[in-house]
Amino acid sequence: MKKSCESMLGKIKYDEFEWKLCGDLKVVAPLLRMQLSYTKYCCFLCKWDSWDKKNHYVNKLWPKRTSLMPGEKNFVNPPLVLPEKIYLAPLHIKLGLMKNFAKGIDTTRRGFQYVRNKFSNVSDGKMKEGAFIRPQIRELMQDKQLDEDLNETERNAWLSFKRICKEFLGITKQRTIRMFCRTC
């Protein structure tokens, strides 16, 4: 994997053009030379502990990474690219936030039952894990009935999610092109 990443960066002349890269964690990990597979510290931005299940929804602030030292916190070798030159894909952020929201909904209340009935073709396992696709998320975001069926805490989280999707992740194609094109 190490040689193929170096070769790929050489072919696109990464050093010459100073590209900014966009991808999900599976793409970013080899470029930063992080250990792959199910790892304890899989985030390149912070020291989020993927094995610490009891604190996932309790601990809101995980310590920020200050360095990417080989041999520490799942870094195998020095990174090929700087973390400042990496952007996470908005769709992956949206899917991750939706997954966290769905896992936090009380499965015995009206809000969850409404979503289950709305997407009756989705299995209970996928529903509880929050495995939604973009058209389903878009449909839920336009649905006023869901807002009414959620309890106050869930509604506040849902409205925050919708606002993040609209104001932060709602980048148009044209804006994305301008953001990554150096000549515009």
122-146 residue pLDDT tens: 887 887 777 888 888 888 888 888 8
Q: Which two tokens stand for residue 108?
A: 């015995």
What separation in angstroms does the CA of 1 have from each of 4, 11, 44? 5, 15, 18
Q: Which pLDDT does position 170 carry in this prediction?
A: 66
pLDDT at 61 over 70: yes
Residue 89, CB-side half-sphere exposure with 13 Å CA sphere: 11
Q: Which pLDDT does position 20 carry in this prediction?
A: 80
Q: Is the dihedral of CA 165, 91, 143, 156 positive or negative?
A: negative
Q: Tokens 């289950």 — which residue? A: 116
Q: Full-prediction pTM beyond 0.75?
A: no
Q: Is the dihedral of CA 62, 161, 38, 89 positive or negative?
A: negative
CB neighbours of residue 111 within 10 Å:
20
**Residues with Cβ < 8 Å from 75, sequence gap 6 or more?**
32, 33, 34, 35, 68, 69
The pLDDT tens digits for 19-50 are 787 777 777 777 777 777 667 777 777 777 77
Q: Which pLDDT does position 177 carry in this prediction?
A: 43
Domain ranges in the chain are 2-88, 91-173
Q: For residue 174, what pLDDT band results from cuts at 50, 70 and 90? A: very low
